[in-house]
């Protein structure tokens, strides 16, 4: 099942990041693209999400220097673009995987592509990892740990449901009951022709 593979790789990416636990560490993908293209993309996807999780924590520091905050905001913007590009690469993998499938006349389209569902699964892996840490935090109160344990149980249930839905979607696409139709993310704010502020700078 793809979801089981994804969940294993996501945990590996998160735990590998946490060894140094700094946004400045170099990225190395341990999964060989030539041997496992999907695994390579999944690992990269979750690494991007893990770094961005840390960025989002850092930028919420109420005492952050404004100049440092601006630099960090630019990094978050670049990370978001990298995340989107990687999701589209994952969808590209599935499009090629199912290119020989002929959908049935009654086939329907899903509300989101497989890769965007997997994107949510990666974020969920981070929520589960960090919520678990809150349940075992030595300086946290018993009440805090109990509340986080309840939240963790909900997140774990959500992962089961989302994993099941992803596997079912891929199964339906493979059998022709569903079909893929992928739209590129047409983000306008990074484009100096579409963003009026950036366009003005060119005049």
Tokens for 53, please give them: 């999780």
Task: Check residue 116 and give its pLDDT.
Answer: 96
Q: Which residues contact 128 (CB under 8 A, 6 or more apart)?
A: 152, 155, 156, 159
Residues listed for the chain: 203
Task: Check residue 181 and give its pLDDT.
Answer: 86
Domain presence at residue 200: no
Domain presence at residue 202: no
Domain presence at residue 136: yes
Domain presence at residue 102: yes
Domain presence at residue 17: yes
**Average pLDDT value over all residues in the chain:** 93
Q: Identify the domain containing residue 86 by its residue range.
A: 2-193
Domain presence at residue 132: yes
Q: Tell me the sheet residues that pair with 178.
A: 108
Task: Check residue 123 and give its pLDDT.
Answer: 98
Domain presence at residue 198: no
Tokens for 56, please give them: 């989002």
Domain presence at residue 60: yes
Say what the pTM is.
Answer: 0.90
Least confident of 90-94, 109-113, 186-190: 186-190
Question: What is the DSSP code (8-state) at residue 9?
Answer: H
Task: Check residue 184 and give its pLDDT.
Answer: 75
Q: CA neighbours within 13 Å on the CB side: how many for 194?
A: 6
Number of domains into which the chain is organized = 1
What percent of the chain is helix, strand and coil (3-state, nearest 5)? 65, 0, 30
């Amino acid at each position: 099942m793809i979801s089981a593979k994804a969940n294993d790789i996501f945990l590996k990416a998160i735990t590998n990041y946490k060894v140094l636990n700094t946004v400045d560490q170099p990225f190395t993908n341990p999964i060989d693209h030539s041997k496992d293209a999907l695994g390579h993309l999944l690992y990269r996807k979750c690494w991007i999400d893990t770094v961005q999780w840390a960025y989002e924590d850092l930028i919420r520091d109420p005492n952050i220097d404004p100049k440092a905050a601006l630099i960090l905001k630019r990094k978050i913007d670049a990370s978001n673009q990298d995340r989107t590009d990687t999701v589209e690469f994952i969808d590209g993998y599935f499009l090629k995987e199912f290119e020989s499938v002929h959908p049935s006349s009654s086939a329907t389209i899903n509300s989101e592509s497989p890769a965007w569902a997997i994107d949510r699964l990666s974020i969920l892996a981070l929520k589960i990892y960090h919520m678990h840490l809150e349940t075992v935090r030595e300086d946290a109160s018993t009440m805090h740990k109990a509340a986080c344990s309840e939240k963790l149980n909900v997140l774990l249930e959500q992962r089961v449901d989302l994993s099941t839905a992803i596997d079912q979607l891929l199964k339906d696409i493979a059998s022709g009951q569903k079909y893929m139709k992928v739209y590129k993310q047409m983000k306008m704010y990074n484009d100096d022709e579409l963003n009026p502020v950036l366009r003005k700078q060119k005049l």
